[in-house]
Chains A and B, each alone.
Chain A
Amino acid sequence: MRSAIISFLAGIVMSMPVLAGDTTEPAAEPAVGRSALDSEVQSLRREVVDLNRDLFMLEEDLLFPASTQVAVFVSMDSSTFFALDSVQLKVDDKEVANYLYTAREQDALKRGGVHRLWLGNLKAGEHEVVAFFTGQGTHERDYKRGTTLKVEKSVGAKYVELKISGKVSKLQPEFVVRVWE
């Protein structure tokens, strides 16, 4: 629904330059008028972008209200000696995400990017989050490591971070799970 609205609005905005270009009296139209129309189109575009953002937030608020929302993120230290291949995520023993990371995504994580692996709803109470990381460490050594966290879901939204960091002394990756307060 949101994408249909956005497509429609984007269509309107995209059509504006066409309309501007299709004017039947280009020679007679003063430059000032054109520049005013251009700025109007730009402001319309900005409005569509803002509207898209607002609709996106509204959609997320509706689908994942704070009372039940749980989000799991993946991050990585730049110094990590680990090529992340995939992360499998289980919540209460049920697989909710299984994500393959491409070279571009690994690079983005190493540059400080954070990937939202899963966004879902959980009822209040204790839940078990288990993450399995696969990839290659130093000397192309294959790794598959699991990490577990008990999450106490309360009234507010819960954010869990799966962080891969490197121990320089041991040249080994470390997998840490923490809850953002």
Chain B
Amino acid sequence: MRLLLAATVAAISLAATAAEGPTAPDFALTSTSGTNYRLSEYRGEVVALVFWASWCGDCRRELERFERLRRTYGSVGFNVLGVNLDPEPERAAAIAGAAGIGYPVLLDSGKDVSKNYRADDLPLIVLIDRRGAIRARHQALDEREERGLLVSLRDLIDE
């Protein structure tokens, strides 16, 4: 009886895991500062990946938005990783510097990571929970969507 009950609960928990979203593909990239970063090293924390490029008009606004969010929620386990798709790292560094970005800007000039995350339209924001599962994907946000993002972000931080 106990086994049957346990198996049922296990099946439910498996279904719940599936509903939480797929595991975020791991990657390692070099940042504009020359330091290497690996996504899996952030397991246990909430991560926002912000895919962007210099030629994308809405990207800069998202970069700045996520810098504000990082300053607000960074102390409670929220991390932001910018993933830049420009072929020239100098442009990425210059834009990130001008926007006052304090989080790492990773260089994906080979576009391997952006292909894995299906970053066809920029900007793309991917929210990853503490277990390493993708929980939300957003494009450029308007005011209403930003409120929705904040709610889901707070939920993820509280998990």
Contact = CB atoms under 8 A, between A and B. Distances in A.
Contacts of B7: 12
A85 interface: yes
B118 interface: no
A12 B30 CA distance: 40
Nearest to A140: B34
B30 A100 contact: yes
Interface in B9-25: 9-11, 13-14, 17
B13 A100 contact: no
Interface string A122-164: 0000000000000000000000000000000000000000000
Contacts of A9: 10
B30 A14 contact: no
Contacts of A12: 6-7, 9-10
B41 A102 contact: yes
A103 B9 contact: no
For this complex, into which size category does the number of interface residues on chain B fall? Answer: 10 to 19
Given A12-B6, A12-B7, A19-B5, A100 B36 contact: yes
A173 B9 CA distance: 55
Interface residues of A, number: 19
Interface string A1-19: 0000001110110111011
Nearest to B11: A11
Nearest to B28: A100
Contacts of B11: 8, 11
B10 A11 contact: yes
A102 B38 contact: yes
A149 B6 CA distance: 53
Contacts of A14: 10, 13
A18 B7 CA distance: 13
A8 B36 contact: no
A8 B38 contact: no
Given A11-B9, A19-B5, A102-B36, 20 more contacts: A7-B17, A8-B11, A11-B10, A11-B11, A11-B13, A12-B9, A14-B10, A14-B13, A15-B6, A15-B10, A15-B13, A16-B6, A18-B9, A19-B9, A85-B30, A100-B28, A100-B29, A102-B28, A102-B37, A103-B36
Interface of A: 7-9, 11-12, 14-16, 18-19, 85-86, 99-105
